[in-house]
């Protein structure tokens, strides 16, 4: 029997992470950085970008399908201290997603692929950017 297409539609994992950050931390978060003064006013700002991952369409033990997403998290802040504090909170918020449902998806598992590191920002910028990479295993809710 062919699985209906609707069963293969997965939630937008970027949106799931953004909603978690907005709900838990009240930081500004989006997939695209604001421009001009709006960017400065939004600090600390978290940019959430899906950078890959794979969808598992079958498992040997017959479990439901899931999507293993790789997410890049970039924290922009006015200082290194503020960026470090914000990144610690963002990492914790993403980790807390395990076992929760949101935006049409259920998070089976979270993990960290690369820990926080300074990601160079534009020259002459007064903004510090820290980034890390997280993984989320998600299935439709």
Residue range 21-50, pLDDT digits in tens: 999 998 999 999 999 899 999 999 999 999
Q: Which residue from 137, 15, 133 is spatially nearest to 74, judged by alpha carbons? A: 133
pLDDT at 125: 79
Q: Is the peptide bond before 44 cis (omega within 30 degrees of 0)?
A: yes
Q: How many CB atoms lie within 10 A of CB 100?
A: 13
pLDDT at 141: 83
Reported as a pLDDT band with limits 50, 70 and 90, residue 2 is: low
Q: Per-residue pLDDT tens for 44-90?
A: 999 999 999 988 877 676 666 889 999 999 999 999 999 999 999 99
């Amino acid at each position: 029997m062919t699985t209906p297409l609707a069963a293969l539609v997965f939630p937008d994992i970027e949106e799931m992470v953004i909603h978690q950050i907005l709900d838990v931390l009240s930081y500004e978060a989006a997939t695209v950085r604001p421009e001009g003064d709006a960017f400065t006013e939004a600090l600390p700002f978290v940019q959430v970008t899906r950078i890959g991952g794979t969808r598992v369409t079958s498992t040997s033990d017959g479990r439901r399908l899931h999507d293993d997403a790789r997410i890049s998290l970039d924290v922009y802040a006015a200082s290194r201290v503020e960026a470090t504090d914000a990144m610690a909170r963002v990492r914790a918020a993403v980790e807390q997603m395990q076992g929760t449902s949101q935006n049409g998806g259920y998070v089976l598992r979270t993990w960290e692929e690369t820990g926080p590191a300074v990601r160079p920002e534009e020259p002459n910028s007064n903004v510090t950017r820290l980034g890390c990479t997280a993984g989320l295993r998600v299935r439709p809710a």
